[in-house]
Amino acid sequence: MAAPVKQYVYFYGFGKSNTEGDAAMKAILGGKGANLAEMANADLPVPAGFTVSTEACAYYSKHDSQYPAAMQAQLKAQLGKLEKLMGKKLGDPRDPLLVSVRSGAAVSMPGMMDTVLNLGLTDKSVQGFIKQTGNERTAWDCYRRFIDMFGDVVMGPTTGLTHHDFEVELHALKKKVKAKEDTDLTAEQLKELVATYKKVYQKKVKSPFPQNPLEQLDCAIRAVFGSWDSERAVKYREINKITGLLGTAVNVCSMVFGNMGNDSGTGVAFTRDGATGDSEPMGEYLINAQGEDVVAGIRTPKDLKDMANESDPMWRRVQKELYKIMSRLERHYKHPQDVEFTVQQGKLYMLQTRNAKRTGLAGVRWAVEMATGKDVFTGAAQQKLLSPKKALIMLSGSDLEQLLFPIFDIEAEKKAVPLVKGLPAGPGAAVGKIVFDAAKAEAMIKANKAEKLILVRHETSPEDVGGMWAAQGILTSTGGMTSHAAVVARGWGKCCICGVSSLDIDYKKKTVTAGKTVLKEGDWISLNGSTGNVYAGQLPSQSSPVIAAVVENNKEAGKHPIYKMYKQISDWADEFRKINVRTNADRPEDAQAARAFGAEGIGLCRTEHMFFEGDRIWAIREFILADDTKSREKALAKLLPYQRKDFEGIFKAMKNLPVTIRLLDPPLHEFVPHEKKEQDEMAKRLGVSPAQVSDRVRSLKEFNPMLGHRGCRLSVTYPELCVMQTRAIIEAACNVEKQGRVKVHPEIMVPLIGTVAEFEFLEKIIRKTANEIIEKRKAKFTYMVGTMIEIPRAALTADEIAEKAEFFSFGTNDLTQMTFGFSRDDIASFLGDYLKEKILPVDPFQHLDATGVGQLVEMGVRKGRSSRPQLKCGICGEHGGDPASVKFCCKVGLNYVSCSPYRVPIARLAAAQAAINS
């Protein structure tokens, strides 16, 4: 029996009986195709069409731009079905069917893929279009747009033909006939423009514009497939860490026309505000236009609310119908939607719906309001659409992180006079130097990461994503809240102001003029992405309401709606998560901040960071120079009171919570000077010869210091170091306990062991020292001794180590280094190549490698608990604050994750999401 033929092309439209697919098929149909099918199944007004699957794209990419064997026959059959149901034939000279060809991956990537509209128009079919519609102007307008898009999107990558080549001719014609807008051009003038466009096309492509509609369709499908691997698409996926997708689907959709006169138009709308999170629908539209006009930012569109004020009452009816459909879609998807629509001679068509991109602020507000049924700013009642669990699932760590962004100092902004005001498209405050070219912005940041830039453009396009990502903020003179700049910036949580039509931007002179003020490239400007105000110069910023309330204990900030939203999400997260969240903190101030963010202890206190403060660096340098035990002990005695005082402060700050303190880890060369001038100063300060200092510094040099004399190896060589640090920890605990009010839970951690023998050697010293002090001081607290698992051998022999160690903390920074054989300090020299060639999906130092390093973590937990069933296990590398890594830690049964103080809220959310999805 022959195997069934794989389906690559799926039909949608004309009701449920004709539609193949639904929203659940997003991986195969892409987000756009799956949602078009879902809307068609619900009998919403969707233009019929068909979707070529992402599997076909994957095949095309892997097989040297060849289609799968069955695809072309299916394409022909589905096109025939569309033609039959529509009663038209593609490119027919008498009554042509015209289609759009649009991309759509499983994950939304605004502006990253290419779109072609009005496909099927030829010199003959344009006459049939005129005959059937009676609208000569629309016909020639559609034809000139099609030549432009086809030339740019389909032929551009191989010939260098660009949209700009056509725009030059359009502007020349408008200037010649004194037309202000494209819509002012007459049918005859547009016909003239079509002839000019065909000459531009032939000059660059070296062949006439194709007159075979099936050839046009084939070329367009190949162009969309090819665009999946375009530089801008790859860069967008890298920036947004999008991996694991098959490719893009191709949606071939029967055309509806928003450019047929004043009873037609096109627009983009959101069921809720994507910038502020307000529950009122927002959007924009243009009358007598096609869809790309709105999202490309070429014309500044009208606000959706203005639709009811149009002179033709038809628009009020359309607005009412649109709002009704949008409400229905939000209830169905249980997520705010981003929709595209076209109105053709008074009839509304829905071209797309997808989960809306938004700022972190908007995302958190949506989640809270949709789950509580209450507006967080006004208290007004709303429809309750989500459970708290579903509300948490719709958020990301970066959403919460954006609530911590600084805002402009309120008093300073009150005194400042706005230069101009635009549309507030992206959140927060941004200050930087003006730069006009996206590629230049990208290069400047690559050269100096500390550079602060504001990208200023007429409008942005997908080619600009690298510079947009590099800049602190984005300012455009055209485009609206749904333009490319606005949508991409919102998705990144980046400050953005759009549609400042009063700005005169001159790329050649590298100036931007607002009224009488002229600013040059390199001048400073400040953007308030929440109000749309633009200021000349640098405005000072202040803490967000969340930071002010949590860290600075500002009671007024505690009443702010943004803080209340943060607290509600955090409370829900704590209700559902099953894993503890600790912090990495070395100072009492950091510990207090982390505790305020909800940390349940310290998972990593790095004692070496304390050695660099004040005079204590001279004590550790004296220790390093000493050449006998007695001299070393004398130097360490000077360090003891400093360390003890530090630990007292940390125990007090953590109030009754466990504190894991790592013994000295880095190699000793990090504590000595390497320049002659500084070495001479050290010699003078410590009363030794310069030669003695330089000789000792030279002796500390190692070929590979990260695998050298560091971690537990230091205390094996110098046991007195382990004694001093243990004394400082235990004496501090005794002092704090004696003061009352605070219970202490010290956990002493031995770093970088590879064998159980190393641990046993140091554990004896720690316990002997600690027990003598506790007995002498008659202290009541208990302490634990454990180790870091950061060498692969330790994970492999975890069962042996756990017979002695009371807890494990996985140091995934070093564990990643040693598992991959990558130096964390040197990986930057080749990581870009590895990511570009897909050798690695992500930076393994940012996101835990679940397959390799994760396997060692899982093995270490399993083997460790085989010897000690109640073994406490945690993670204290940088991965402890990465949401995906936190979810992995939950899966393998860790008791806690530990991260930097400001990542604690993100880790709490990720832990809750892991528990909900488990």
pLDDT tens profile 665-686: 988 888 888 889 889 999 999 9
Query: Cβ(783)–Cβ(742) under 8 Å?
Result: no
Name, in order, each residue with C-beta under 8 angstroms of 559's C-beta and a sequence gap of 6 or more: none
* Of 227 and 122, the one with more pLDDT: 122
User: What gap in Å lies between CA 586 and CA 590, rounded to an integer?
Assistant: 7
Per 3-state DSSP, what percentage of the chain is helix, strand, and coil (rounded to 5)? 50, 15, 35
For residue 392, give the nearest of 918, 914, 902, 909 by alpha carbon. 909
873 is catalytic: no
Write the single-letter amino acid at 821.
G
Q: How far is 745 from 725, CA to CA, in rounded Å?
A: 16
Angle of CA points 499, 427, 230, to nearest 5°: 70
- Binned at pLDDT 50, 70 and 90, residue 181 comes out as confident
pLDDT for residue 602:
96
Q: Catalytic one among 219, 253, 335, 484?
A: 484
Distance CA 857, CA 473 (A): 40
Q: Check: CB of residue 426 under 8 Å from CB of residue 490.
A: yes
Average pLDDT score over the chain? 91
Q: How high is the pLDDT of residue 313? A: 94
- Tell me the sheet residues that pair with 505: 512
SS3 state of residue 452? coil
Q: Which helix (DSSP H) or strand (DSSP E) does residue 514 occupy?
A: strand 511-514
**pLDDT band at residue 110 under the 50/70/90 scheme:** low
* Residue of 873, 876, 889, 899 marked active site: 876
Query: Could you report the per-residue pLDDT of 185-202, keeping only the tens digit for each?
Result: 999 999 999 999 999 999
Of residues 815 and 835, the one with the higher pLDDT is 815
Q: What is the DSSP letter of 254?
A: E
Q: Are 562 and 581 in contact (CB under 8 A)?
A: no
Backbone conformation region of residue 106, classed left if phi is above 0, alpha if psi is from -120 to 50, else beta = alpha
* Secondary structure of residue 529 in the 3-state scheme: coil
Q: What is the C-alpha separation between 668 and 665, in angstroms, rounded?
A: 9
Q: Read off the pLDDT of residues 865-909 as tens digits, 9 standing for 90 and up.
A: 999 999 999 999 778 988 999 999 999 999 999 998 888 999 999
Instruction: Please tell me the distance from the alpha carbon of residue 261 to that of residue 404, in angstroms, as a whole number.
Output: 47
For residue range 428-439, list pLDDT tens digits in order: 789 999 999 998
- Give pLDDT, residue 482: 58
Helix (H, G, I), strand (E, B) or coil at 751: coil
Which has the higher per-residue pLDDT, 315 or 486?
Answer: 315
| C-alpha distances in Å from residue 713, one per residue of 301, 637, 668 | 67, 21, 11
Task: Give the residues across from 661 on adjacent strands.
Answer: 605, 748
289-293, 321-325, 814-818: range with lowest mean pLDDT: 289-293
818-857 pLDDT tens trace: 999 988 777 877 888 888 888 998 888 888 999 999 999 9
| Segment 158-178, tens digit of pLDDT | 899 998 999 999 999 999 999
Q: What is the pLDDT of residues 128-144, one digit of tens each?
A: 999 998 999 999 999 99
151 vs 486, more confident:
151
Question: pLDDT digits over 363-386, tens only?
Answer: 999 999 999 999 999 999 999 999
Mean pLDDT value across residues 215-236: 89
Residue 484 among the catalytic residues? yes
pTM of the model: 0.80
Return the HEC string of 620-684.
Answer: HHHHHHCCCHHHHHHHHHHHHHHHHHHHHHHHHHHCCCEEEEECCCCCHHHHCCCCHHHHHHHHH
User: What is d(CA 840, CA 833) in angstroms, rounded to the nearest whole number?
Assistant: 9
**CA dihedral sign of residues 137, 142, 145, 146:** negative
**What number is the average pLDDT over the span 279-295?**
84
Does 625 score more than 90 pLDDT?
A: yes
Predicted local distance difference test score (pLDDT) of residue 455: 96
Phi and psi (nearest 5°) for 103? -90, 170
Which has the higher per-residue pLDDT, 480 or 56?
56
